[in-house]
């Protein structure tokens, strides 16, 4: 049994130790796992398929949650104005939210890290240019950035393709708005690593720059990137839901949690509070557990704050 | 009458896996008017004891037993006790003057604030007192510099400011925790003289914490030796150093590189690694070269200027780090580059290994000009012949790589077609030749101590069978006993493999032991090049004479 | 004279400050020009301005004439110069959708957004800093932990969810505060203010608190991290060793150092608030610029979009500029860098 295999090292590490000790980390991971699982396997987990028009009936519309007066057990969280089961729409909706969120932050991370890593390593005018871009963009709040990109794309893409392209545009818009954070952090961490002797040693040996950057430096700067990535994921999910709420996000045919909240907002004053309430709770739960995890990560992976 | 009494002090640090006993039952006393040295290697507990006297132990440490009595007040009896004493009766100074001062307040403001905290005087009186203090610690233009910010002082001046801050309320006990370790040798002696002067003029009780035996010999009246939390031995400095009673003390004293003679090998008492092969295994793969006694390296008119332009600012600050330096290194010899910080010695080394390109001048290796080579493949031929080991054992190995990956990198790069079994056996041979076990190959750097990491670095450097090994302060970050082992190892390797060594250091006694010829550098230029014994016994240049005079000598105690 | 005033006096006559001032000014103008170019590109390359403006019956000759009149056939740099000239006078053309001059629309909506942002900024900064300092100093303890838990929740609650929640609680259930609009406003010259009427004040409460929450939680966590990091430094330890009282350490030493990055944060903060006001205005139907902008994005109303872009950029650049100048006064190390490079 290799004492130093990856698995054993992970189990023995300080990080895992504080994970075991921290109830918030465990609970938030559990919640995340459940949400992820149900959204990936939505077809199996969800009691109904809310997008199958044959299964819907307007007779089932506006049924309150099962524990309140007038509720039915077959619709656990009630139904919306079209007779769709709330629980199912939420599960499918969270899938969209998660897909957009993950894809956007992945795009952001790859783009930002490559730029930041190379900027920090090579320095000079290239670094200056990249960092100036990042700084200027950082002063623009990401929501605005995303809105702008979305608006421009909308203008450039012919109207008939809007629906199909909407998700890609959204992923691009949100992704583009978050890359400066990754670039900043990667560049800062790269600057620190670049001056360490192991980099000099490899240079003296004759190892090429590309290999030094990606094989030597990158693994050492992953920690802060991971923290930013987790928090960024929460932000991306919130951004997507905000854009969908405002009406410029995903098309109504594939509603995300944000879209659901917007739809439900109309019914708030007429008393059908559950149509907006449950998607909102779910969204907050999702974002909150990601943030809890990210927070715990930041505290554990930061050697200084002890 | 002892001013400070420490009785059976024990300090514990409860950690995740175990409890670390930083101090175990330590007892000693300090009188006013004397300097007590507290010496030990890293982890000995000396700093922890210093912190405990002023009740500023870092978390999670705490005092688990014993007492500290200062002028008849028991510090740990009530938590408020220490509040009356800090600054008023006890002054503390740290190692790094750079981080000890608040960067956004002037030193005047910091002085006045401290004075007004303890003494009831008017602001103007406080200002007058502060200015007098600055004069007392040797700051010129005290009235003007009163309004300066910390970053406007150089390192040595800053430490003087720190001392003035510690003393401004007339404390009776001064604790100095490695006060000169971060300073150059010439500044170091000034600060130590200042401390000695203040001890006498103010009748202070002083505890001087350090790892440097030379400093102990020249500055302290009594000395206490710590090892692993225990007080090993305590006594009058001269007696203890000339006639150490305990074996640990003896080994500590003998590990210190002598400053007055050249010895062949350092005496080792406690060894890190038990297996020692006198046959260095890699010899079988390594054709022992014939030494041609030619110049292997020739440096001629080498210069390097750094352009410190700051983004869009127009005026750039040019720093001439190396100025028209020339010297030669014969094959098989050990050549030393000695100088204080900023002398350019590291820069020269980095140019020889091609990390920096010189602004001017040439470097010749084996009669080929390597500074003019543009072709990458040609450069690779020379890269395998010149290798380097570095000062910081913690940053010179990539913590994410296993030892075997670290060592195999150069091998695979220069021999891409090597078979796996050959690679493994070569790695094991290399490890054994630096006295590390085969099992080390599967481990990660953080599982090794500082000295062991340096051995791994050496193994990596030897992997390509270099002819020239550049050693940039390879033992400056190590404890004195480990230093002795590593230096011995380097000497052994040099003999067996006919290596040429370029040894860079600021530590004169070490350089005396390791090198055949030495070049002395100041501000980027060479002051003097000469054979070692001649340099130390009959130095030519004034600067060399200064350095030799100022270096802390443990032998001074024998006079 | 307080030490701050003393220092301010010395610096006013400082030639290096003037140097720094102009350098930053120059950089700001550069950034504005870049933004103007992006904005201009929107006009030129996205969609066809003529087709968007005229009706279907217009013949192609008439369209060509309009094109000529508008100068759309001139070379790009001429068009750009005209654009910049117009923009600096505040002329951004006519909204495609609402068919009114953009500058008029913006002038109408501006006061609403500005008032909202100012109140929110004030709330966020005040409470954020206070709570951040408190939790930074008292690292452990029930109150600290609860504040942190709530702040984490705050970061996870999207602004619109908070808005909806508030509306539900205070308007639908309790019925004490209005759920949309600005209430009665008073016209003061060019400005319309909601501060002078009771209904105006009532109307601004929910939107401003909603808007401030996200930022407040962010500030709390940032200030806290700053404080904690500072309290670990050597100079704090040294100050303790000199016997400086704990209170003085917190407020004189730690806080002053800690406030330096908070000033940058405050600057960025106002910018973010303006952006997030888009959401709040939508939820509360607050008649500000953000609401206008969202409509513009939905209908691809380029003139409004590009005007908004330039306007926002201007505000951000101004804020950055002011922050940079303030920094000069507060952090002596910046002054030194300037000295070193110009000396």
Predicted confidence (pLDDT) per residue in A167-190, tens digit: 888 898 889 888 998 998 899 889
B458: helix, coil or strand?
A: helix
B457 with A14: Cβ contact below 8 A: no
pLDDT in tens, B324-352: 999 999 888 999 999 888 788 888 999 99
pLDDT over 60 at C1, yes or no: no
Question: Phi, psi (5° rounding) for residue C212?
Answer: -80, -25
Res C2 pLDDT > 60 = no
Interface A-C, measured as beta-carbon pairs within 8 A, has a size of: 107
- Apex C43 CA angle, C38 and C49, nearest 5: 175
- Could you read off the pLDDT of B288-321 as tens digits, one per residue? 667 776 788 888 888 888 775 433 333 455 778 8
Q: Which residues does A contribute to its contact with C (CB < 8 Å)?
A: 136, 138-141, 143-144, 147-148, 150-152, 154-156, 234, 238, 241-242, 245-248, 258, 261, 265, 268-269, 273, 276, 280, 283-284, 287-288, 290-292, 295, 304-305
Residues from chain A that touch B388, judged by Cβ atoms under 8 A, are 200-201, 204
Chain B: give the shortest CA distance to residue C139, in Å. Answer: 14
In chain B, residues with a C-beta closer than 8 Å to the C-beta of C343 are 315
Give the burial class of C165: count Cβ atoms within 10 A of its Cβ; 0-12 exposed, 13-18 middle, 19 or more buried.
middle
In this prediction, residue B75 carries a pLDDT of 82
Judge contact between B62 and B9, C-beta under 8 A: no
**Yes or no, beta carbons of B310 and C341 under 8 Å apart:** yes
Q: What is the number of residues in chain A? A: 306
- The stretch C149-173 carries a mean pLDDT of 85
Give the C-alpha separation, B39 to B521, whole Å. Answer: 31
8 Å CB contact between A97 and A257: yes
Please list the alpha-helical segments (H only) found in B137-227. 142-145, 155-167, 185-202, 213-219
Mean pLDDT of A129-151: 79
Report the pLDDT value the prediction gives residue C9, as an integer from 0 to 100. Answer: 61
pLDDT on residue A41: 84
CB-closest option in A128, A201, A203 to B311:
A128
Q: Which of B56, B99, B315 sits opposite C235 (nearest CB)?
A: B99
d(CA B516, CA B333): 6
Nearest to C302 among A155, A241, A261 (CB): A155
Q: CA–CA separation, B151 vs C337, rounded Å?
A: 11
Kindly report the average pLDDT of chain B as a whole number: 85
B444 touches chain A (CB under 8 A): yes
CA B226 to chain centre: 19
Predicted confidence (pLDDT) per residue in B500-514, tens digit: 999 999 888 889 888
> Tell me: the pLDDT tens digits for A15-40?
777 777 777 788 888 888 888 888 88
Q: Report the pLDDT value the prediction gives residue C339, as an integer from 0 to 100.
A: 46
- Cβ distance A283 to C276 less than 8 Å, yes or no, reads no
Cβ contact (<8 Å) for A147 and C297? yes
Using pLDDT thresholds of 50, 70 and 90, give the confidence band for residue B280. low
* Distance separating alpha carbons of residues B179 and B181, to the nearest angstrom: 6
Bridge partners (DSSP) listed for residue B519: B337, B529
Cβ of A287 within 8 Å of Cβ of C158? The answer is yes
- Closest Cα in chain B, distance from residue A196 (Å): 5
Lowest mean pLDDT among B125-139, C84-98, C229-243, C297-311: C84-98
Q: What pLDDT is attached to residue B558?
A: 66
ipTM: 0.79
B401: chain A residues, CB-CB within 8 Å: 216
Under an 8 A CB cutoff, do C159 and A242 touch? yes
Q: Which band of pLDDT confidence, cut at 50, 70 and 90, is reported for residue C5?
A: low
pLDDT score at A298: 78
Query: Which of C147, C162, C164 has the most A C-beta neighbours within 10 Å, making it the best mutation to test the interface with A?
Result: C164
Residue B419 has pLDDT above 60, yes or no: yes
Q: How confident is the model at residue A304 (pLDDT cuts 50, 70, 90)?
A: very low
Beta-carbon contacts of C181 under 8 Å, excluding residues fewer than 6 positions away, are: C203, C284, C285, C286, C287
Tokens of residue B546, six digits: 């200064």
Give B-chain residues touching C244 at CB under 8 angstroms: 87, 113-114, 117
Other CB atoms within 10 Å distance of the CB of residue B348? 28
Select from B60, B102, B172 the residue whose CB has the most chain C CBs within 10 Å, as the one to mutate to test that interface: B102
Residue B485 CB neighbour total at 10 angstroms:
23
Query: What's the pLDDT at B196?
Result: 92
What's the confidence (pLDDT) of residue A213? Answer: 94
Question: What's the rounded Cα separation, in Å, for the pair C17 and A155?
Answer: 45
Measured between CA atoms, the residue of chain C closest to residue B100 is C235
CA distance A220 to chain B (A): 7
Does B506 or C95 have the greater pLDDT score?
A: B506
State residue A129's pLDDT score.
87
Joined together, the tokens standing for residue A55 give 């299964």
Condensed to tens digits (0 to 9), the pLDDT of residues C245-297 reads 888 888 778 877 877 777 777 776 777 788 888 888 988 888 888 888 888 87
pLDDT in tens, C191-209: 778 777 787 788 888 889 9
CB nearest to C152's CB, from A136, A276, A292: A292
pLDDT of residue A179: 92
Best of C161, C217, C275, C279 to substitute, by most chain A Cβ atoms within 10 angstroms, is C161
CB contact under 8 A, B117 and C333: no
The confidence score (pLDDT) of residue C8 equals: 61
d(CA C210, CA C120): 8
Per-residue pLDDT at B30: 92
The three-state (H, E, C) secondary structure of chain C, written as one string: CCHHHHHHHHHHCCHHHHHHHHHHHHHHHHHHHHHHHHHHHHHHHCCCHHHHHCCCCCCHHHHHHHHHHCCCCCCHHHHHHHHHHHHHHCCCCECCCCCCEHHHHHHHHHHHHHHHHHHHHHHHHHHHHHHHHHHHHCCCCHHHHHHHHHHHHHHHCCHHHHHHHHHHHHHHHCCCCCCCCCCCCEEECCEEECCCCHHHHHHHHHHHHHHHHHHHHHHHHHHHHHHHHHCCCHHHHHHHHCCCCHHHHHHHHHHHHHHHHHHHHHHHHHHHHHHHHHHHHHHHCCCCHHHHHHHHHHCCCHHHHHHHHHHHHHHHHHHHHHHHHHHHHHCHHHHHHHHHHHC
C278 neighbors A147 (Cβ within 8 angstroms): yes
**Residue C70 confidence (pLDDT) above 70:** no
User: Which chains border A (3 or more CB–CB pairs < 8 Å)?
Assistant: B, C
Question: Residue B389 pLDDT > 90, yes or no?
Answer: yes
Closest Cα in chain A, distance from residue B554 (Å)? 32
B326 burial class (0-12, 13-18, 19+ CB within 10 angstroms)? middle
User: In this complex, do C244 and B117 lie within 8 Å of one another by their Cβ atoms?
Assistant: yes
What is the C-alpha separation between B142 and B148, in angstroms, rounded? Answer: 10
Instruction: Determine the residue of chain A that is closest to C166 in CA distance.
Output: A268
> For an interface test with B, which of C1, C9, C229, C243 has the most B Cβ atoms less than 10 Å from its Cβ?
C243
Q: Decide if C173 touches B, using CB distance below 8 A.
A: no
Cβ contact (<8 Å) for C298 and A248? Answer: yes
pLDDT band at C343 (very low <50, low <70, confident <90, very high): very low
Closest CA to B32 of B191, B204, B190, B183: B204
Helices (H) and strands (E) in chain B, counts: 20, 20
Average pLDDT, whole number, for chain C? Answer: 78
Is a pLDDT exceeding 90 seen at residue A1? Answer: no
Give the separation between CA B449 and CA B465, rounded to whole angstroms: 25
- Two structure tokens written together for B223: 């000395």
Question: In terms of C-beta density within 10 A (0-12 exposed, 13-18 middle, 19 or more buried), how is residue C216 classed?
Answer: buried
Across the interface, whether the CB atoms of A276 and C164 are under 8 A apart is answered: yes
Query: Tens digits of per-residue pLDDT, B371-383?
Result: 888 888 888 888 9
**Distance (Å, whole) CA B526 – CA B521:** 5
Burial of C45 (0-12, 13-18, 19+ CB in 10 A): exposed
Give B12's strand partners.
Answer: B21, B62
> A93-107, B237-251, C82-96 — which one is most confidently predicted on average?
A93-107
- Chain centroid to CA A122: how far? 30
Distance from C-alpha of A178 to C-alpha of A106, rounded to nearest angstrom: 10
- Please enumerate in sequence order all residues whose Cβ is within 8 A of that of B112, keeping only pairs 6 or more positions apart, or say none: B123, B126, B127, B130
Q: Nearest chain B Cα to A220, which residue?
A: B400
Length of chain C equals 343
Q: Would you call A143 and C275 a contact, using CB atoms and an 8 Å cutoff?
A: yes
Does the structure show a pLDDT above 80 at C40? no
Strand order across the B62-70 sheet = B19-31, B2-14, B62-70, B73-74
Nearest Cβ partner for C156 among A140, A151, A287:
A287
Count other C-beta atoms under 10 Å from residue C173's C-beta: 10
Report the distance separating Cα C250 and Cα C137, nearest Å. Answer: 8
Shortest alpha-carbon distance between residue C318 and chain A (Å): 11
Chain B residue with minimum CA distance to A306? B59
Residue B154 pLDDT greater than 50, yes or no: yes
Q: How far is B76 from chain C (nearest CA, A)?
A: 16
Q: Give the percent of chain B with pLDDT over 90.
A: 23
In the block, tokens 């001439």 appear at B320
Q: What percent of chain C has pLDDT over 90?
A: 0
Task: Considering only CA atoms, give the Rg of chain A.
Answer: 23
Let me know how long chain B is.
559
Give residue B229's region: left, alpha or beta (phi > 0; psi -120 to 50). Answer: left
Neighboring chain C residues of B118 at a CB cutoff of 8 Å: 243
Residue A218: pLDDT above 50?
Answer: yes
Instruction: Pick the closest to residue B213 from B198, B225, B200 (CA basis).
Output: B225
Q: What angle do CA C189, C191, C197 make, to 5 degrees?
A: 105
Q: Which residue has the tokens 């032998």?
A: B555
């Amino acid at each position: 049994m290799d004492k130093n295999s990856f698995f054993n090292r992970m189990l023995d590490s300080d990080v895992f130790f504080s994970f075991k000790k921290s109830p918030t980390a465990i609970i938030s991971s559990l919640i995340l796992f459940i949400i992820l699982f149900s959204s990936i396997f939505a077809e199996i987990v969800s009691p109904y398929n809310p997008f199958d028009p044959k299964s819907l009936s307007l007779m089932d519309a506006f049924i309150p949650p099962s524990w309140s007066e007038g509720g039915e057990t077959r619709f656990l969280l009630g139904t919306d104005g079209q007779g769709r089961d709330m629980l199912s729409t939420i599960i499918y909706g969270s899938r969209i939210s998660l897909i957009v969120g993950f894809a956007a932050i992945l795009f952001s991370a790859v783009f930002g890290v490559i730029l930041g890593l190379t900027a920090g390593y090579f320095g000079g005018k290239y670094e200056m240019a990249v960092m100036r871009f990042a700084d200027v963009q950082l002063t623009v709040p990401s929501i605005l950035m995303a809105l702008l990109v979305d608006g421009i794309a909308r203008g450039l893409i012919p109207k008939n393709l809007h629906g199909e392209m909407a998700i890609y545009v959204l992923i691009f818009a949100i992704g583009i708005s978050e890359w400066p954070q990754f670039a900043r952090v990667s560049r800062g961490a790269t600057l620190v690593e670049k001056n360490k002797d192991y980099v000099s040693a490899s240079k003296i040996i004759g190892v090429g720059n590309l290999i030094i950057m990606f094989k030597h430096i990158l693994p050492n700067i992953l920690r802060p990137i991971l923290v930013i990535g987790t928090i960024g994921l929460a932000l991306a999910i919130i951004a997507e839901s905000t854009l969908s709420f405002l009406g410029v996000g995903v098309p109504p045919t594939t509603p995300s949690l944000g879209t659901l909240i917007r739809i439900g907002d109309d019914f708030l004053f007429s008393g059908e509070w559950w149509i907006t309430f449950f998607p909102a709770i779910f969204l907050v739960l999702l974002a909150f557990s990601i943030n809890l995890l990210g927070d715990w990560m930041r505290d554990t992976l930061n050697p200084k704050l002890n | 009458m002892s001013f400070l009494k420490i009785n059976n002090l024990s300090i514990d640090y409860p950690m995740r896996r175990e409890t670390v006993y930083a101090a175990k039952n330590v007892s000693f006393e300090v009188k006013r008017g004397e300097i007590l040295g507290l010496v030990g290697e890293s982890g000995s507990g000396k700093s922890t004891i210093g912190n405990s006297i002023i009740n500023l132990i870092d978390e999670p440490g705490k005092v688990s037993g014993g007492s500290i009595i200062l002028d008849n007040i028991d510090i740990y009896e009530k938590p408020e006790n220490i509040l009356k004493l800090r600054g008023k009766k006890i002054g503390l100074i740290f190692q790094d003057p750079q981080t000890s001062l608040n960067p956004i307040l002037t030193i005047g403001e910091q002085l006045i604030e401290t004075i007004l905290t303890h003494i009831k005087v008017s602001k103007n009186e406080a200002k007058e007192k502060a200015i007098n203090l600055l004069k007392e610690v040797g700051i010129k233009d005290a009235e003007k510099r009163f309004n300066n910010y910390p970053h406007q002082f150089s390192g040595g001046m800053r430490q003087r400011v720190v001392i003035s801050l510690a003393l401004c309320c007339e404390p009776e006990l001064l604790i100095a925790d490695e006060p000169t370790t971060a300073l150059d040798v010439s500044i170091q002696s000034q600060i130590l003289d200042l401390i000695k002067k203040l001890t006498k003029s103010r009748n202070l009780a002083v505890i001087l914490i350090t790892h440097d035996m030379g400093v102990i010999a020249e500055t302290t009246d009594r000395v206490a030796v710590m090892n692993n939390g225990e007080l090993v031995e305590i006594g009058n400095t001269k007696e203890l150093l000339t006639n150490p009673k305990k074996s640990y003390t003896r080994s500590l004293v003998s590990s210190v590189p002598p400053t007055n003679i050249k010895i062949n090998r350092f005496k080792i008492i406690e060894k890190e690694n038990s297996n020692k092969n006198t046959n260095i295994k890699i010899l079988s793969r390594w054709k022992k070269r014939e030494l041609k006694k030619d110049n292997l390296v020739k440096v001629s008119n080498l210069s390097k200027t750094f352009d410190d332009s700051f983004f869009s600012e127009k005026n750039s600050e040019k720093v001439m780090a190396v100025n028209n330096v020339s010297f030669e290194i014969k094959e098989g010899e050990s050549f030393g580059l000695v100088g204080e910080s900023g002398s350019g010695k590291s820069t020269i080394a980095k140019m020889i290994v091609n990390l920096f390109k010189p602004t001017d001048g040439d470097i010749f290796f084996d009669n080929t000009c390597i500074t003019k080579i543009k072709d990458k493949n040609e450069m690779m031929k020379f890269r395998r012949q010149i290798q380097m080991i570095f000062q910081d054992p913690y940053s010179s190995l990539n913590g994410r790589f296993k030892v075997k990956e670290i060592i195999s990198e150069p091998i695979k790069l220069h021999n891409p077609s090597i078979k796996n079994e050959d690679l493994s056996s070569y790695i094991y041979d290399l490890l054994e030749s630096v006295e590390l076990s085969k099992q080390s190959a599967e481990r990660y750097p953080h599982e090794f101590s500082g000295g062991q990491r340096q051995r791994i670095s050496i193994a990596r450097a030897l992997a390509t069978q270099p002819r020239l090994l550049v050693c940039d302060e390879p033992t400056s970050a190590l404890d004195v006993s480990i230093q002795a082992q590593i230096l011995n190892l380097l000497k052994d390797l040099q003999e067996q493999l006919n290596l040429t060594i370029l040894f860079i250091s600021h530590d004169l006694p070490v350089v005396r032991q390791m090198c055949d010829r030495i070049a002395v550098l100041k501000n980027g230029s060479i002051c003097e090049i000469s054979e070692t014994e001649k340099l130390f016994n009959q130095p030519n240049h004034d600067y060399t004479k200064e350095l030799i005079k100022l270096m802390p000598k443990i032998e001074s105690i024998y006079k | 004279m307080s030490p701050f005033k003393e220092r301010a006096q010395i610096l006013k006559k400082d030639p290096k400050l003037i140097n720094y001032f102009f350098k930053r000014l120059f950089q700001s103008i550069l950034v504005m020009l870049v933004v103007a170019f992006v904005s201009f590109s929107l006009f030129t390359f996205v969609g066809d301005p003529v087709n968007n403006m005229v009706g279907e019956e217009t013949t192609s000759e008439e369209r060509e004439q309009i094109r000529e009149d508008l100068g759309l056939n001139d070379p790009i740099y001429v068009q750009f110069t005209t654009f910049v000239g117009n923009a600096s006078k505040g002329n951004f053309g006519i909204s495609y959708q609402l068919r009114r001059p953009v500058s008029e629309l913006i002038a109408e909506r501006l006061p609403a957004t500005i008032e909202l942002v100012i109140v929110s900024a004030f709330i966020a900064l005040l409470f954020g800093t206070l709570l951040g300092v408190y939790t930074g100093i008292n690292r452990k303890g029930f109150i600290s932990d609860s504040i942190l838990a709530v702040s984490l929740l705050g970061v996870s609650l999207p602004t619109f969810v908070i808005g909806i929640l508030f509306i539900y609680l205070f308007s639908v259930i309790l019925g004490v505060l209005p759920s949309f609009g600005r209430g009665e406003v008073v016209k003061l010259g060019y400005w319309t203010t909601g501060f002078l009427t009771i209904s105006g004040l009532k109307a601004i409460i929910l939107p401003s608190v909603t808007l401030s929450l996200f930022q407040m939680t962010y500030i709390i966590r940032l200030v806290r991290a700053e404080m904690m990091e500072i309290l670990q430094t050597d100079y704090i330890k040294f100050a303790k060793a000199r016997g400086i009282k704990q209170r003085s350490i917190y407020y004189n030493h730690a806080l002053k150092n800690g406030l330096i990055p908070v000033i940058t944060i405050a600057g960025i903060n106002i910018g973010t608030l303006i952006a997030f006001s888009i959401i709040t205005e939508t939820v509360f139907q607050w008649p500000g610029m953000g609401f206008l902008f969202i409509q513009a994005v939905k209908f691809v109303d380029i003139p409004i979009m590009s005007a908004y872009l330039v306007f926002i950029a201007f505000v951000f650049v101004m804020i950055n500029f002011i922050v940079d100048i303030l920094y000069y006064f507060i952090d002596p190390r910046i002054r030194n860098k300037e000295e070193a490079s110009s000396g």
